[in-house]
């Protein structure tokens, strides 16, 4: 069996910088493009920093055709600043992080009220807002508690293209159905695992991410929505590489590295549920329709030939352990 995808997109990707970028960028190049996260050290805050980062990505891709949808780290902005960002060809959206909620987010927003004048301008200018939607409450309740913020934003700014990033709960899906301006991304790991897979037995640090995987009923709701072709649900890997020594340690870094196996694993998942024909929408068409994107017309063919996931990706002085390291999965990319 084969599945041919046209212009698959990853709507939430971490490539990091420096030597880690050089290692991970080519491992993400099976996608035609991706939304690139800005939480570097220091964060990508200005159009100049954004252009420089896009150039470093191009260099790391080494000629692979790849559409970089670049994001800026959100802070309150003037109209002149927003127009300058919008005039930058590589710019796609602003990414809002609550302060200190995840990796390299210490400079994020501490008070949502401070954002409202900027969001009003973004609504008028048609600039999307992508949000890491978690509170600082009890870790399993953080997404659920943040849903009230999404609801407020959707009601106060009904024309703002607002993306709930990497949703993990059935409750987030219910909110998605209430407001047509909302969209959402969901990761591979949150379609496959629950918190029990992460910490129900021996701790598995390479499955630890933020937001945490939740309950079986949440996973099943997310999977049903993806397989069912929800028109405003997009694949966003949130593939987040960390050096092996920062995962296998006390104070384990949050992030799951899935970029090299995302498309084969998704093909395996959708085919196993008899929904292979809906994978195109999930990994490309839904996002293109919502945002008006025109990615490069690349085609990727996946086949039901097994592949062995490497136990480790190594290069440029870096080593990263992927999800499903050392395992055999049932599908692969036809080269």
- Give the active site residues: 238
Q: Which of 74, 57, 80 is nearest to 116 (CA)?
A: 74
Task: For strands 313-315 and 318-320, give the pairing.
Answer: antiparallel
Q: Is 3 helix (H, G, I), strand (E, B) or coil?
A: strand
User: ∠ CA 224-151-279 to the nearest 5 degrees?
Assistant: 25
DSSP string, 124-172: HHT--EEE----SS-GGGHHHHHHHHHHHHHHH-TTS-EEETT--SHHH
Phi, psi of 136 (to 5 degrees): -105, 20
d(CA 134, CA 153): 14
Whether the Cβ atoms of residue 316 and residue 13 lie closer than 8 Å to each other: no
d(CA 284, CA 306): 24
| Residue 50: its H or E element | helix 47-61
Q: Quick one: DSSP state of residue 115? A: G
Note the Cα 238 to chain centre separation in Å: 3
| Residue 12: its H or E element | strand 9-13
């Amino acid at each position: 069996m084969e599945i041919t995808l046209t212009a698959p997109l990853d709507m939430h990707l971490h490539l990091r910088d420096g030597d880690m970028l050089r290692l991970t960028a080519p491992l993400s190049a099976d996608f035609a493009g991706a939304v690139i996260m800005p939480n570097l050290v220091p964060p990508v805050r200005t159009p100049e920093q954004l252009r420089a980062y896009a150039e470093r990505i191009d260099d790391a891709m080494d000629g692979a055709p790849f559409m970089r949808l670049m994001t800026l780290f959100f802070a309150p902005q003037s109209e002149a600043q927003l127009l300058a960002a919008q005039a930058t060809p590589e710019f796609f959206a602003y990414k809002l992080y609550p302060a200190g909620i995840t990796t390299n987010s210490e400079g994020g927003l501490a008070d949502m009220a401070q954002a409202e004048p900027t969001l009003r301008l973004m609504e008028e200018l048609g600039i999307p807002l992508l949000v890491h939607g978690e509170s600082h409450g009890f870790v399993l309740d953080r997404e659920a508690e943040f849903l009230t913020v999404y609801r407020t934003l959707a009601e106060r700014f009904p024309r703002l293209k607002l993306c709930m990033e990497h949703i993990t709960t059935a409750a987030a899906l219910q909110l998605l159905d209430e407001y047509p301006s909302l969209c959402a991304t969901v990761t591979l790991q949150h379609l496959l695992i629950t918190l029990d897979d992460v910490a129900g037995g021996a701790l598995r640090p390479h499955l630890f991410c933020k937001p945490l995987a939740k309950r079986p009923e949440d996973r099943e709701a997310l999977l049903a929505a993806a397989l069912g072709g929800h028109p405003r649900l997009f694949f966003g890997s949130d593939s987040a590489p960390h050096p092996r020594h920062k995962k296998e340690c006390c104070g384990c870094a949050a992030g799951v590295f899935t970029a090299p196996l995302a498309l084969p694993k998704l093909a395996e998942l959708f085919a196993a549920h008899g929904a292979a024909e809906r994978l195109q929408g999930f990994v490309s068409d839904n996002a293109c329709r919502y945002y008006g994107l025109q990615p490069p017309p690349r085609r990727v063919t996946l086949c039901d030939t097994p592949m062995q996931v490497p136990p480790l990706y190594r290069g440029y002085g870096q080593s990263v352990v992927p999800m499903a390291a050392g395992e055999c999965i049932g599908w692969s990319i036809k080269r």
